[in-house]
Amino acid sequence: RVMCLDLHNDSLRGFFSPDTPVEHLLPGPVAAAYFHEEFYEAAKGGAFPPVAVVAAHEGQVARATEFRKVLQKLSGEDIPMAFISKSRQLAHETDYKPILVGDVTGRKCIIVDDIVNTGRTLQKSVKQLKENGADSVYAWATHGVFGSPNNDAPEKLQATEGLDYLLISNSVSLDRPLPDKIRQLSVAPLLAEAIARALHNQSITGILNLDEMKRKAERYDD
């Protein structure tokens, strides 16, 4: 059995042998719970602030949708979604003009992506959201790929005006200190639960299913 954490493309599971079970774990709901707790505590018992979930680009709409579902469930609020379209003049061009689709005026925006490496896409997204009236901008990406000694993305993001902070998981080992604007969320409990359920032949896909949590879950450690 193979357990993967937020593959860039779900079809990558097809590279494994057909007789090898492949579990695709998505930590987005854990990150959504993190932001819910942060915003709830900041409200100090008041109303939950207006929030918008923003897909970093067209390819992240599915991840952002799942993130939004969990945040809506936890907060009890209607949370709109937006996305940033990458508009390139020519297919081979690396530079692009970001186009925001959706209304983020006066809202705390959470950008959802799967990987942050150079930070350029995130920087452009932050600028675009602030120019369109966002109150504040946060970001979530499962994998922070900053391991190369020549990668100065953490320092660039620290200096990015308008970015409150970027939340990443600890899926990639980092032998360098991270600046204040980059926070790490441990996925160890998620992986441990998945492994325990696999050993006891229990459902893995239902770990982060909030509908399933309404019922008393069958426990392998009872």
Q: Which residues are catalytic?
A: 86
Name residue, tokens 């493309």. Answer: 9
Strands 136-144 vs 163-169: parallel, antiparallel or unpaired: parallel
